């Protein structure tokens, strides 16, 4: 197990060193572009709702729509073939090539043909196959797999491409600039297109009512691939069908913005083949228009696991994906490693787990599924609103349940009162049961802290559990937050207008008790009657290890523990954003119904709650403002938490800090990279630090280097502590009135 982890660490390190810079530059560029471009689109959210609704409807009615497409395409003069699997599709296209005696086949970019390895099958038929999309062409020459859904050669720099082309093609003058490389490829591929006997494209969308294939491109190669040869084969997954031509509109508005951050690509081709353009025979010298229009068109609709995904309540959402790559570009881990680490046989990024599990089988997703930390930044970026982290969690859960019988389970048996099968990866089991560990840690502190940090312990933890020795371990407090509250002798406010439970999340209760105490002092100073009862841990820890049954158990406990308070009119104030994200997000799936709603509706992030109090007229004077900090600490560098930002809660913290007279600058990275247990794991430690460096750099600029660093999440605080020499703190500790405790 240990060597498997270190092999994985080696591979990640290698890819970060060789491809990381290009991937980072490109993914960040696309990501920034997306934010700018969707901000320019009026009705962005309404378009997302419409796009989602169209896809839900289309997948629901898919069998009927497949038949509708067959009818319209045949009425247009084409042929439709529904292929059960990759072999079936390849056999069909290969036979077409054989019948047409096709010597040269030109292709425009298609991930679906990557999925089925069509090129290899056509080459086996004796065809010369050419990728005409420049990114795909680079990969073809380099013999590499795509590292990105939209920009497949995202990992290659200009210099690397120049070296590759100069070695392979030996041009008279060595190629150097992007302009020269592009011109060379245009000319070279232009010749291939002129001699082509068959053109192969994918399809971004297929409309059932008009038999139209929509191709979203910018280079013009798809247009030429369709126009020049007299035979056109389009290979598309069955999920690409949408009911009507007009349904294309929201997708045309969304797809390029969501992907590369352009408002629209240069070309959105809307072809209802066989197309009316006459084919071009470059050996002929008659006017092109006089050519008899004897075009042939074949639409190959690929199942390859998709209909089974449609029947799978958890994987079905994957079929709504329009492969725009927003989930990859907005993913902090992807920004560091790209699709060669965060990807399977064909697909990459957040949604790849669903695709790979569906079309290539669970094993293809296993290797990279852990790269999704559940940070949730992709969720709001997805134009069809797919809950991508949930798909990743479900597949992780299935993988856990299919895991082999473990050898070392006895070691952590006492620490793992979970609902998971024997054989679950020990590391996952350890982190998933952090609640038990934390209780034990507090009960035996400070001895537990001394013991845990001895070199032999760290070595054992690294070997057995894969906990990286370079990470500092959390220090457990002997007196928990709940105990502190119970033991203190402070009268409750009489006739308080607001009553709130401060949720004692695992870290606040056992490790970072200070932020809990600060929250209580803050709320009480603002006149809120506060309670801190014993409440179960949220289930975030097991959920992030894919231990869904265990997480569900936690959710039910939390709900039961809080129910009497909710019934008595209490609000629930949550300090840890990842737990609030559970209450508002995953609990819908884990609890459902009214139990979910009553908790979700009444739970608030701590600054969201303070903001609400101040907005409703509560006097902020008792809080420590920027002036009270007397210059020290009045200038803030604030890093919000990934899930907090997804819930759109960052603004409450900055608004309150502003109101109290602090000068606040904020980070704009997607995630700190720590992500709960992720940054502790030996196979991911270096990746976690690489992601963290993007945040660290933002807080080491001339404007930020002297600022007090605050962050909302436990993980973020730990990561910032590792990245910076300054000690970060939770913003509530900054504004809370001084306490005697």
Partner 1 sequence: MATQLDTFETNLETVRTDVTRTTPAAFQETLAGVIDHPAVGASLPFEEVTLEGTDVTLEPTPDQLREATCGVTAAALGVADYGSVVLESTPAGAELAGLFPDRHVIVVRERDLVPDMAAAFERLGDRFRDGRDDAVLATGPSATADMGALVYGVHGPRETHAIVLEDNGE
Positions 57 through 96 that interact with partner 1 (CB under 8 A): 76
Neighbours of 258 (CB within 10 A): 28
Neighbours of 493 (CB within 10 A): 16
Residue-by-residue DSSP string for 437-494: HHHHHHHTTTHHHHHHTSHHHHHHIIIII-B-TTSPPPPPPSS-HHHHHHH---PPPT
Please give the C-alpha separations between residue 216 and each of 266, 323, 373, 620, in angstroms, as whole numbers. 8, 11, 31, 53
Between helix 134-142 and helix 158-169 the angle, nearest 10°, is 60
Rounded Cα distance between 666 and 737, Å, is 24
Rule CB under 8 A: is residue 494 a binding residue for partner 1?
no
Q: Which residue lies nearer to partner 1 by CB, 142 or 549?
A: 142
- Least distance to partner 1 from the beta carbon of 380, Å? 23
Q: Which residue lies nearer to partner 1 by CB, 209 or 635?
A: 209
- Tell me the per-residue interface mask from 252 to 271 with partner 1, x by CB under 8 A, - otherwise: xx------x--xxxxxxxxx
Rule CB under 8 A: is residue 299 a binding residue for partner 1?
no
Rule CB under 8 A: is residue 685 a binding residue for partner 1?
no
Q: Which residue lies nearer to partner 1 by CB, 125 or 180?
A: 180
- Least distance to partner 1 from the beta carbon of 271, Å? 5
| Token code pair at residue 537 | 């841990």
Rule CB under 8 A: is residue 182 a binding residue for partner 1?
yes
Among 6, 163, 166, 218, binds partner 1 (CB under 8 A): 218
Binding to partner 1 in span 307-326, by CB under 8 A: none
Q: Which residue lies nearer to partner 1 by CB, 40 or 630?
A: 40
Q: Which residue lies nearer to partner 1 by CB, 193 or 548?
A: 193
- Tell me the per-residue interface mask from 384 to 413 with partner 1, x by CB under 8 A, - otherwise: ------------------------------
Rule CB under 8 A: is residue 111 a binding residue for partner 1?
no
Whether the bond into 578 is cis, omega within 30 of 0: no
Query: Pick from 365, 367, 368, 348: which is nearest to 356 by CA?
Result: 365
Among 185, 322, 375, 558, binds partner 1 (CB under 8 A): 185
Rule CB under 8 A: is residue 189 a binding residue for partner 1?
yes
Q: Which residue lies nearer to partner 1 by CB, 212 or 397?
A: 212
Binding to partner 1 in span 136-165, by CB under 8 A: 138, 151, 153, 156-159, 161
Q: Which residue lies nearer to partner 1 by CB, 219 or 387?
A: 219
User: Buried b / exposed e across 580-606, counting CB within 10 Å, b at 16+?
Assistant: bbbbbbbbebbbeeebbebbbebbbbb
Binding to partner 1 in span 18-57, by CB under 8 A: 26
Q: Which residue lies nearer to partner 1 by CB, 69 or 248?
A: 248
Q: Which residue lies nearer to partner 1 by CB, 256 or 590?
A: 256
Rule CB under 8 A: is residue 227 a binding residue for partner 1?
yes
Q: Which residue lies nearer to partner 1 by CB, 29 or 737?
A: 29
Rounded Cα distance between 572 and 70, Å, is 55
Residue with tokens 């795909």: 136
Query: Pick from 373, 363, 271: which is nearest to 332 by CA?
Result: 373
Q: DSSP assignment, residue 173? A: S
Please give the C-alpha separations between residue 584 and each of 40, 109, 393, 538, 717, in angstroms, as whole numbers. 29, 40, 17, 11, 23
- Least distance to partner 1 from the beta carbon of 260, Å? 8
- Least distance to partner 1 from the beta carbon of 14, Å? 22
- Least distance to partner 1 from the beta carbon of 187, Å? 10
Please give the C-alpha separations between residue 541 and each of 51, 126, 342, in angstroms, as whole numbers. 33, 54, 22
Rule CB under 8 A: is residue 600 a binding residue for partner 1?
no
In 528-625, DSSP assigns E strands to 528-531, 571-574, 603-605
Binding to partner 1 in span 114-133, by CB under 8 A: 132-133
- Least distance to partner 1 from the beta carbon of 368, Å? 24
Rule CB under 8 A: is residue 224 a binding residue for partner 1?
yes
Burial class (CB within 10 angstroms; exposed 0-12, middle 13-18, buried 19+) of 40 = exposed
Rule CB under 8 A: is residue 290 a binding residue for partner 1?
yes
Q: Which residue lies nearer to partner 1 by CB, 229 or 474?
A: 229
Rounded Cα distance between 365 and 347, Å, is 10
Q: Which residue lies nearer to partner 1 by CB, 283 or 404?
A: 283
Q: Considering only 283-291, 588-596, 661-669, 672-680, which stretch makes contact with partner 1 by CB under 8 A? A: 283-291
Rule CB under 8 A: is residue 210 a binding residue for partner 1?
yes
Q: List, in order, residues 6 or more apart from 407 with CB less than 8 Å away.
A: none
């Amino acid at each position: 197990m240990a060597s498997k982890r270190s092999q994985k660490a080696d591979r990640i390190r290698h890819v970060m060193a060789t491809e990381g810079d290009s991937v980072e530059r490109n993914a960040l560029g696309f990501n920034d572009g997306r934010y700018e471009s969707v901000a320019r689109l009026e009705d962005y959210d309404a378009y997302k709702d419409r796009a989602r609704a169209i896809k839900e409807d289309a997948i629901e009615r898919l069998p009927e729509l497949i038949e509708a497409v067959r009818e319209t395409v045949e009425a247009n003069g084409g042929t439709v073939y529904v292929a059960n699997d990759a072999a079936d599709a390849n056999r069909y296209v290969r036979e077409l090539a054989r019948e047409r005696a096709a010597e040269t086949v030109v292709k425009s970019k298609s991930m679906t043909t990557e999925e089925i390895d069509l090129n290899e099958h056509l080459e086996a038929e004796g065809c010369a196959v050419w990728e005409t999309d420049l990114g795909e062409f680079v990969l073809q020459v380099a013999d590499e797999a795509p590292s990105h859904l939209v920009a497949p050669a995202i990992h290659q720099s200009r210099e690397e491409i120049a070296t590759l082309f100069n070695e392979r093609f030996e041009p008279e003058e060595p190629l150097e600039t992007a302009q020269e490389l592009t011109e060379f490829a245009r000319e070279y591929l232009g010749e291939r297109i002129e001699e082509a006997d068959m053109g192969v494209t994918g399809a971004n969308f297929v409309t059932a009512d008009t038999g139209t294939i929509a191709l979203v491109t910018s280079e013009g190669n798809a247009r030429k691939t369709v126009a020049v040869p007299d035979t056109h084969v389009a290979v598309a997954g069955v999920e690409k069908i949408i009911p009507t031509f007009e349904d294309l509109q929201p997708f045309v508005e969304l797809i390029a913005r969501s992907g590369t951050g352009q408002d629209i690509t240069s070309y959105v081709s809307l072809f209802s083949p066989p197309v009316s353009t006459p084919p071009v025979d470059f050996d002929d010298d008659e006017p092109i228009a006089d050519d008899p229009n004897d075009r042939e068109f074949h639409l190959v609709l690929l199942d390859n696991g998709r209909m089974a995904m449609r029947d799978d309540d958890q994987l079905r959402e994957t079929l709504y994906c329009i492969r725009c790559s927003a989930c990859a570009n907005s993913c902090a881990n992807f920004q560091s490693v790209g699709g060669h680490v965060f990807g399977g046989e064909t697909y990459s990024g957040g949604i790849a787990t669903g695709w790979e599990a569906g079309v290539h089988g669970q094993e293809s997703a296993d290797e990279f599924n852990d790269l999704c930390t559940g940070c949730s930044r992709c969720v709001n970026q997805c134009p069809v609103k797919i809950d991508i982290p949930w798909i990743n969690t479900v597949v992780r859960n299935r993988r856990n349940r299919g895991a082999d019988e473990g050898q070392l389970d006895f070691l952590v048996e006492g620490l793992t009162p979970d609902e998971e099968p024997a054989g679950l990866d020990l590391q996952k089991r350890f982190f998933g049961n952090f609640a038990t560990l934390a209780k034990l840690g507090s009960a035996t502190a400070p001895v537990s802290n001394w013991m845990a940090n001895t070199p032999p312990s760290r070595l054992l933890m690294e070997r057995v559990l894969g906990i990286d020795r370079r990470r500092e371990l959390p220090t457990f407090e002997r007196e928990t937050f709940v105990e502190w509250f119970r033991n203190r002798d402070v009268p409750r406010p009489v006739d308080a207008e607001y009553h709130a439970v401060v949720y004692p999340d695992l870290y606040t209760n056992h490790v970072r008790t200070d932020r809990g105490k600060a929250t209580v002092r803050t709320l009480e100073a603002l006149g809120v009657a506060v309670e801190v009862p014993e409440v179960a841990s949220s289930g975030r820890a097991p959920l992030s290890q894919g231990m869904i049954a265990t997480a569900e158990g936690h959710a039910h406990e939390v709900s039961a523990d809080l129910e009497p308070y909710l019934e008595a009119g209490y609000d629930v104030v949550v300090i840890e954003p990842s737990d609030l994200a559970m209450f508002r997000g995953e609990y819908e799936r884990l609890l459902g119904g009214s139990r979910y709603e009553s908790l979700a509706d009444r739970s608030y992030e701590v600054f969201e709650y303070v903001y609400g109090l101040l907005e409703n007229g509560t006097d902020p004077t008792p809080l420590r403002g920027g002036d009270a900090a007397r210059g020290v600490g009045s200038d803030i560098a604030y890093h919000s938490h990934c899930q907090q930002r997804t819930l759109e809660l960052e603004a409450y913290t900055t608004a309150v800090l502003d109101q109290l007279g602090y000068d606040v600058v904020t980070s704009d990275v997607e995630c700190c990279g720590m992500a709960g247990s992720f940054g502790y794991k030996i196979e991911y430690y270096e990746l976690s630090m690489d992601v963290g460096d993007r945040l660290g750099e933002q807080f080491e600029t001339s404007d930020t280097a002297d600022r007090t660093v605050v962050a909302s999440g436990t993980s973020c605080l730990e990561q910032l502590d590792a990245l910076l020499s300054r000690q970060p703190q939770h913003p509530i500790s900054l504004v809370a009135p001084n306490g005697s405790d």
